[in-house]
Structure formats: structure tokens, C-alpha cells
Structure 1
Amino acid sequence: MASSKKKRVDEEEMEDDIDDDDVIDDDDDIESDSDDEQEAMDQEIQLDLEARTPDDSDFNGIRTLLQQVFLKAHINVSELADTIISQNYIGSVMKQPYSPEDDDDDDDDDDSDMTVLALTTVVNITERKNLDCVKQMKSMLSTKCNQCAKGQHEKFNKLLNDPDHHVGYLVSERFLNLPPTMAVPMFESLMKEMEKAKQKNMKYDFSHYLMVCKTFEMKAAHNVKQIMYSNSEEELFEEVADVCFKYSVAHERDSCVEKWSSEDGMEPFRNVIIFPADKLSVIVDKIKQEVGNT
């Protein structure tokens, strides 16, 4: 903007001194600059990613991804992160591999945590019912269900508190703008790991899975409300849900959500889904088809 304004001033002050060649050259420069900017915007950034089992160095990164879901809710996400790391035979984190070129003299020990880009795992909230984080999550979600979907409250509580039918909290979190293609291999790996665990008589034979999904609601034409999932593939899980309800987190919004809400008129929600465990592989196959991952 400043250079355009300066150009107009120069034209007014030196109108008699500018010949046709000068104008043509200047326009060519502007067009060239515009082409360069467009080319830079069209470039794709290639990320070299790797999936591996969670370990202690991933604690802060995992906690950050969990915090994206629960925001200011009174849930001990640190304990939940520790639990996920302790069962490192189940689930995986997606990270950007360490490169020596990235080293700086003032690097600290926590830099590795920031490379956690995605997390997929499952926590048995029936088996681990005595953990504070599990008690807090179940209590909070039960309250939200009673407030927002009273007709489903009894069924929701029955599913979550039946000791004979275990429920897994299915975590599939990644940073904004990472593609849904990442979800397919991570889900497939998770399903294989759970099968191996069940063969060893470990507690991963679930009747249902619980998901807490990040969504946004935006008013469209004629006051119709459109729901958008941050992780677009999660909408497929809602189609097979036994229980599904949503609650607003507008009063808990973080800086990213606040920007979206204020600029685009989006209100952030959390969609809670409980679906039968035998539907997981079916949905993963549908995700694979939709994202073209064969």
C-alpha cells in the first residue's frame, strides 16, 4: 500500500518528466511482483512425518492436543496425558522428525514436545474409572448431556457406567489444517494394536467408543445452521452413533477459536458421540474411500 501511494505522488509531482517507456517498465515490474507473490502462495509445503509410540518426551505435546478439546473444563489433562504415555503399546503420535539443522544454541529440552502434530489412541474409561481425569470427564459430560440432551441422558449414563460393557475414550487429535489422510494409517495401526492386546487378555475389548469432537456452528441463509467438524472425517462417526449431543464452548474459547468466531461468525462446540465398537473398522474404511487413501 505504501509503495502504491508513493507511486501516485511521484506521478503528480513529475508528470511532465515521465515518458511511455517508464510507465511500461513500472507496470511490468508490478505484474512480475504479483506473479512472484502468487507463485509463492501456490507452493505446497512438504512435511516429513513419522508415527511412533508415545514416550515421556511427548508429554507436553500430548497435553496440548488434549487441552484443545477440553479447554477450560475441570479435567486433569496432565494425568490423562500420563495415562496415554503409560500404555504406549496402544496408540501413536505423529511427529516431525528431528533434524540437526534445526538446532539453535538456545534450544531447551522441551522443544521435542512441540513436534507432536497428531495423536490417536484409546483409553479404557471403564477399567480406569478411579482416575481423577476419568471421573472428571464423565461427570462433566454427564452434566452437559443433561443440560443439552435430556432425552439421551439416561442412556448416556448407562453406557458410561455399565461395568460389564467397557467403553473406550477414542482420541483422534491433530493440529488445525493437517489433512484427514493422516487419520487412516493411525486408526488402522490402533485397531491392529488393540487386537494384539486383546489376544493377551488385556482390557481393550470394547462395546462402545466415546469421542469428543471439535466442531463449529455457522449461520447460513434463512437462519439455517451449518455444523463443521475440525477433523472432517469425524462426521462419519456421528452417522452410526447410539448417543450424540453437543454443547457450546464459546465462553471457553482459546485465541484461535476466538479469531474464527469474531471474524467468521463461528461458534465453537463439542460434539459428544458414543458409537458401537464394531462400527470402527467400517467407518475407517469409509474414511479411506472418501480421502482417496487406497
Structure 2
Amino acid sequence: MGRKRRNDDGSEQGSGSGGEDGYSSSASSGGGGSGSDADSTSSGASEDIVNIDFEYFSPAEIDFHAMKRMLVGSFGDDAEEFDLGELVDLVLAQSAIGSTVKMEDDADPYAFMTAVGLRAHAGKKVVQQITGYLRRKDKGGRLGAVLDGHSALLLNERVVNMPPQIVPPMLRMLGAELQQAAAAGEPFDFEHLVLVCPMFREVPQAESDSDSDSAQRRRPQRPAQPPIDAYAHPEDEIIEEFAQLKFDFGLSRSSRVPAARNAFADAGLAPSRRCLVLRRADIPALAARLEEALAP
């Protein structure tokens, strides 16, 4: 079972709606009457709000299947090229670093963040699969020196609709844990972190997708616009500001028709990926920037 994370003063993290690392969501149930009594109205309003508190735990064996499912998001349709079960095993074996977000210790995690050393696990099949994949996707060849150095794969995954406000506390904890583990002689003194970010890219409509040549001629001509790139995780746009290196690549196995293509659209959105390389030393500044940008 994972241990509950605590602040330096011994208070629990993530267990209150007003805490630094806590996150509470509230929603109205839509009920309640419209009486004139002020006390009754106030009481009815409070009953319509549901507060949900999330807490931070270390990765544990019980998290295996949920983490494996979330990891599919890192590589989309290409995820079948990797032994994700072995990757989760590596994450769970690192008791010194990493965080999950849950409502209870024995519940499935809604999110997790950790770093997997590429040099320390160079002999593992899944690490060889991932590094080989990234080398093939890096057409400029600039990532090779990073992968050959003392670097780690940064994993930042969560379920759909989980708010990005949980990311800064996890990143801040990860930075502190890496520093403490390295000081204790463990092989976590990484120079760089490699993050694969899920994205959607605007792609032009193929001629075969059009209804007819005459329909194309009737469609009003619009001035050329640069393609739209959108991150699946909003925090990745901020993380990119700290990237020392980045490159985009498409998925090898994706055969999906880009979404939003219809008779009124000239383009659709197709899944793609962007690889960002960060300096480990920049984690504190990045966490502070994320907290500022994602503040409610």
C-alpha cells in the first residue's frame, strides 16, 4: 500500500480544499427550492455542493492495472509496440520516487507522475523499445545525445477530466524526491527528462474525402492558415516553455480518420505527439510557473 504524503511540518498534503497541494471540485446538483427564507436558501445551496478531496500516495502494487491503462495515452495507437506491463513494474520498483493521486489508499489512482531512468534500465526490453522508437521518430537526430546520457523518461498521466491543478504538486514532489534520492547515492541524479506529450494536429482533407470535384469548386476559398496544434494536456503548453529540445512526430499505427471532417470542413484533427526534453535542474522553476498559470 502507498504511504500518505506529508508536508515538511507533518501536515497531510492534498487532504483539504484550501491546502497548497489539495484540490477540491464542487458541482451543483440542480436541486433546491426558491423559498424566500434566507436560512433555508443558504442551507439548500450548501447541500447542492459536493467536495471531493484528492490525496497523494506512493505508487503501489494495487495501482498496476490503472497505471497500465493510463500509459496507453502516452503513445496512443503505438502503445502496442511497448511492453507497458514491464514499464509499470519499473515504476512500482522505485519506492523512493513517484506519486499517485487517489481518494483513498486502496482505490485506483486517477493520475500519476514519475521518472524512469533510461541508463539504469538500459537492459530492460521496454526501455530498449521506447528509446529505439524515439530515435526512429527523431528525424533530426538531436535526441541521441540525451538518450545516451543520464536521462529519464518523465511519465505524467491521468484519466480524462482530471484537472491539471494536480500536476504542480506532483512535479514539485518529484523534484524533491529525485534530489533526496541522488543525495543518498541512488541512481536518480538525471540531467534531462524526456516527456512525450499527446497532441492533436490539424491535417488537410484528402481529395478522396471530398464529396465531389464540383463540391470542391463551390466551396469558398479561404486564405491559407498555419495548421493548428493542440495539446491534450493543457499543462504541456507551459512545460514547453522550459524545453531544451523538442520535435513532433506522427503515430505509426494510427489508421483513424481525423475527427471533425465533414462537408463544411477543409481539415480534421489527427492524433500526434511532441517530444520535449527538460533539464532536471529546472523542475522547481517549472513547478512554480505551472502553479501560477493553473491557479483557479
What TM-score comes out, normalization by structure 1 length? 0.70
Where 2:188 maps in the other structure, the secondary structure is coil
Matched, 1:168 2:155: no
The equivalent position to 1:287 in structure 2, one of 279, 287, 290, is: 290
Larger radius of gyration: 1
Q: Which residue of 2 aligns with 1:196?
A: 180
Structure with higher helix content = 1
Q: CA deviation at 1:219?
A: 6.5
The letter of the residue matching 1:181 is Q
Q: Which residue of 2 aligns with 1:266?
A: 269
Matched, 1:186 2:170: yes
2:176 and 2:118 map into 1 onto residues whose CA distance is 20
Give aligned-pair identity as a percent.
22
Where 2:242 maps in the other structure, the secondary structure is coil
Q: Which residue of 2 aligns with 1:75?
A: 82
- 1:64-213 to structure 2, matched below 5 A, reads 64-73=69-78, 74-97=81-104, 115-146=108-139, 150=140, 153=141, 155-162=142-149, 166-213=150-197
Where 2:198 maps in the other structure, the secondary structure is strand
Q: CA deviation at 1:233?
A: 1.2
Taking a change above 3 Å as real, the CA distance of residues 59 and 242 of structure 1, as seen in their structure-2 partners, is same
Question: 4+ runs of 1 displaced by more than 6 Å?
Answer: none
Where 2:282 maps in the other structure, the secondary structure is helix
State the Cα deviation string for residues 155-205 of structure 1 (Å, max 9, x = none). 31111113xxx1011111111221111101111111121122112111111
Matched, 1:237 2:242: no
Structure 2 unaligned blocks of 5 or more: 1-27, 32-47, 205-222
State the Cα deviation string for residues 232-267 of structure 1 (Å, max 9, x = none). 11122222322211112384378xxx7956689321
2:122 and 2:67 map into 1 onto residues whose CA distance is 21
Q: CA deviation at 1:92?
A: 0.9
| Root mean square deviation of aligned Cα | 2.8
1:215 and 1:277 map into 2 onto residues whose CA distance is 23
1:245 and 1:174 map into 2 onto residues whose CA distance is 23
Taking a change above 3 Å as real, the CA distance of residues 140 and 167 of structure 1, as seen in their structure-2 partners, is same
Q: 1:51 touches 1:93 (CA, 8 Å); kept in 2?
A: yes
- 1:41-52 to structure 2, matched below 5 A, reads 46-52=51-57
Q: 1:71 touches 1:253 (CA, 8 Å); kept in 2?
A: no
The equivalent position to 2:280 in structure 1, one of 268, 273, 277, is: 277
Structure 1 unaligned blocks of 5 or more: 1-36, 99-111
Q: 1:242 touches 1:274 (CA, 8 Å); kept in 2?
A: yes
State the Cα deviation string for residues 65-109 of structure 1 (Å, max 9, x = none). 1112123431111000010001122101112327xxxxxxxxxxx
